[in-house]
Amino acid sequence: MNDDIALQITPSAVGLGAEISGVDLNSSLSEKAILEIKKAWFDSGVVFFPNQDLNPSSLEKFTLAIGEYGKTDFIVPMDGHPNVLELRREPTETASHFGASWHSDYSFQESPPAATILFGHIIPPVGGDTLFADGRAAYLALSEKMQDFLAGLNGIHSAALPYAKDGFFGKDDDPSRSLKIIPSDRAKECQTHPIIRTHPDTGEKILWLSRNYTLGIEGLHEDESKLLLNFLCDFSTKEEFVYRHKWQKNMLTMWDNRRVQHFADGGFDGQRRVMWRTTVAGTVPV
């Protein structure tokens, strides 16, 4: 363990996303280094570490340095690594791209994950960007009257649209899909979470909802709920709040699910892509 590691943190030009270099994530990180990484993560929402030669075991080690594992739902993990998902797409796959809709990971859980950590093991030469939308910036851009109105509302979150047996993946029988998904009627269970949540580490207000998992707004009529959700989902992913992240081989990226939504772009059909993913446990949104 080396307390003298000098992290170099380079924020992006858009206020979301920062590169961290000067650290080997295979090494045992000091408490000081972990605190610096977490601060950059809080400040930037998304942090990425280029040139990291990791395997699933070392990815697990880094994850546990950040926090306890989050719970994985509806997807079969890697053999021997129950907390790691292998997001693999083979050149022959014709199935839709996984994650190609705006969402905050597992927001349908009672305690959604604080962080998602994704490592680029095999990266195609083109395509495959991940887009991140900043819920903090979106909240600040709302009028004060809208902020006040939304402060008393809860979103109804569910995994039904993608993961129920009659949901997208339940109906999708494309045999070319490498990722093993387990549709279940359990996906129709709902959790209510504040539309404006308070970040537990920074105290900042976040506009927190998504098209993929937020099905309605508690206490509103269906047509009222639909209109407001459509407006907020469009507003929260406006171009001015979005950072486009470009992957490199052996890059690790960690994002703050309590602050950002993300969208997995395609554009690499005919190419192999292999990513390893973990999550870090979070708290009940308030």
* pLDDT exceeds cutoff 90 at 51: yes
Residue 2, pLDDT score: 47
What angle (nearest 5°) sits at the alpha carbon of residue 100, between those of residues 266 and 69?
110
Segment 86-115 shows an average pLDDT of: 96
Contact present, 124 and 247 (Cβ < 8 Å): no
Which residues lie closer than 8 Å to 22 by C-beta, 6 or more apart? 5, 6, 7, 8
Nearest residue to 106 (alpha-carbon basis) of 270, 261, 272, 274: 261
pTM higher than 0.85, yes or no?
A: yes
Residue 5: which pLDDT band, with cuts at 50, 70 and 90?
low
What would the pLDDT profile of 213-234 be if each residue is shown by its tens digit? 999 999 999 999 999 999 999 9
- Which class is domain 8-280? alpha beta
Residue 101: which pLDDT band, with cuts at 50, 70 and 90?
very high
- The neighbouring-strand residues paired with 205 are 198
